[in-house]
Amino acid sequence: MTAKGKIMKKLSTIFAVVTLLLTFTFQPAFAADNVISMEVEYLEDGGRYVTIIEDVPTSDIQPLSTKTETKSKTAYYENAAGKVMWYVKVTGTFTYGDGTSKCISATPSAASQNSDWKVSNVTGGKSGNKAYATATGKKYLDGTVIDTKTKTVTLTCSPTGVFS
């Protein structure tokens, strides 16, 4: 092998390693495979809420006239730099069909993704065809709260199984 061939082989190997590192370093905050919908709400402070609805796979046998599905809806609070600081999430199980829909269970959750933020007051529940969760994120600087944000996510199922 010539010197030029050796250099090209070495450059190809370096390029492959750098490509792999970049691929595994920059992963999104959520997996796109199960995402049904996504919306972005921009805030005055430069931050934003990115809210997604995801399918939560189940393997239950379903009757023909009604269906049961589990979905989750998550609002991620991102700072002005686009980094996730905290999130609030509701996972709901719904039945629908025959012209009606009903939430049969709802589980709220929330967590901080940054050491400057703490999450509290996590509540949730269900009502009719809705599942909801609320949480408060507080940003601390030297032990003092410098920012507070409260967010509610509501997951709704239509009688035809459209989730919003």
| Strand, helix or coil for residue 14 | helix
Specify burial of residue 6 (Cβ count, 10 A radius: 0-12, 13-18, 19+).
Answer: exposed
Q: Which amino acid is at 147?
A: D
pLDDT at 133: 98
Terminal CA-CA length for the chain:
61
Are the beta carbons of 132 and 155 closer than 8 angstroms? yes
Whether pLDDT at 12 is above 60: no
Which of 117, 130, 128, 28 has the alpha carbon at shortest distance from 73?
A: 130
**What is the distance between the alpha carbons of residues 127 and 105, in angstroms, rounded to a whole number?**
10
Q: How far is CA 15 from CA 5, 23, 98, 129, in A?
A: 15, 12, 57, 52
Longest dimension (CA), the chain: 74
**Selected residue with higher pLDDT from 4 and 47:** 47
Q: What is the pTM of this model?
A: 0.75
Name which residue leads in pLDDT, 23 or 144: 144
Tell me what pLDDT residue 60 has. 61
pLDDT at 101 over 50: yes
**Residue 163 CB coordination number (10 Å):** 20
Assign 88 to helix, strand or coil.
strand
Question: Which stretch, 30-44, 62-76, 80-94, has highest mean pLDDT?
Answer: 80-94
> Tens digit of pLDDT for each residue in 116-155?
999 999 999 999 999 999 999 999 999 999 999 999 999 9
pLDDT tens figures, 25-66: 333 444 557 788 899 999 998 999 999 998 887 766 555 668
Beta strands in 43-143 (DSSP E): 48-56, 67-78, 84-97, 100-112, 117-127, 130-141
The closest alpha carbon to 95, from 163, 143, 29, belongs to 163
Q: Please give the structure tokens belonging to residue 46.
A: 């430069």
Question: 13 in helix, strand or coil?
Answer: helix
